[in-house]
Structure formats: C-alpha cells, structure tokens
Amino acid sequence: MKAKDILHRIWWNLPLPASAYVYSLGRRSVFKDARRPVFEAAFQRLAARGFQGDYLEFGVYRGTGFCTAYHAAQKFGCTNIRFFAFDSFQGLPEDEGSIFKQGMYAIPKDVFEKTARKAGVDMNRVIIEPGFFTETLSDRKRSPR
C-alpha cells in the first residue's frame, strides 16, 4: 500500500473536527491542489466587488475541487453562497473516444458527501443534484433564493 493511501485511510477514520483540520493542513502542504490559487483569486475578486450568487460545479467526482472552492469562498468571507454539486455519481454516460469509457469516474454519492463533511464543508450550504446533465439542468430545477 502506498504512503498516500495509508494517509488517506487514517484521515478517513479521523473524527470531526480533527479531519477538517488535517484536511486543511494536508491540502496546503503535502497534497497541494494546483487549483487553489485560481479559486482563491476568483473568490477574492468576487468578495471585493460584493458579488451575490451561487457556486455550481458539474462533475464533482470525489469532491476535492468542490472542497477547495468552498474553503476559498470561506477564506474571503463569501458566506452567503450556496454550493451546487451536479454529478450522476454513475460515471460517464457513454464512451467518449478510446480514452474515456462509460462508467469512468463513478463514485457513490455518499463518498462525495462524507469527503465534503470530513473536509469541513458546511453541508447545510450544499445542494446535491444527482443525475446526468440532461436530467438535472432544466428550468423546473431553478429555485429563487
């Protein structure tokens, strides 16, 4: 078993809030997310301009980018944002060329939810929309604030 897998298993079994602290520490040092500076720059600009709106992510997979975006929003005081997680949780609906195969990137919804909770995401601000885009991106799913 690789060291990264061992560390993930230890983190997965830590109780809250220890897991949230370890997640934050790990993402800033050992397991850096290259997207973090981009998310931080975006939320810093939005906060400076007093932007009001929501964050939508399509294809959340395990949730690492989603959690990075959430924490960047928190860092810059964007506390009124709702976070929408769109994913089929069944992987890709069909083959796309020779590289991307049907079912690739499948992960159970509860794994995404547990990852987000353990990373310190306030799940009261998260709206999960399971299903393929053709099912979830419709006018009837829109809801005013």
Domain hosting residue 112, numbered range: 3-141
Closest by CA to 128, choosing from 63, 73, 78, 80, is 63
User: CB-hemisphere CA count at 13 Å for 37?
Assistant: 2
pLDDT, position 77:
96
**Residue 59 maps to which CATH number?**
3.40.50.150
Beta-carbon count within 10 A of 121 CB: 23
Give CA separation, 98 vs 76, 104, 123, in Å: 42, 12, 37
pTM of the model: 0.89
Closest by CA to 111, choosing from 39, 55, 45, 63, is 63
* Rounded average pLDDT over 122-127: 97
**Residues 50-62: tens digit of each pLDDT:** 988 999 999 999 9
- How many domains does the structure of the chain reveal? 1
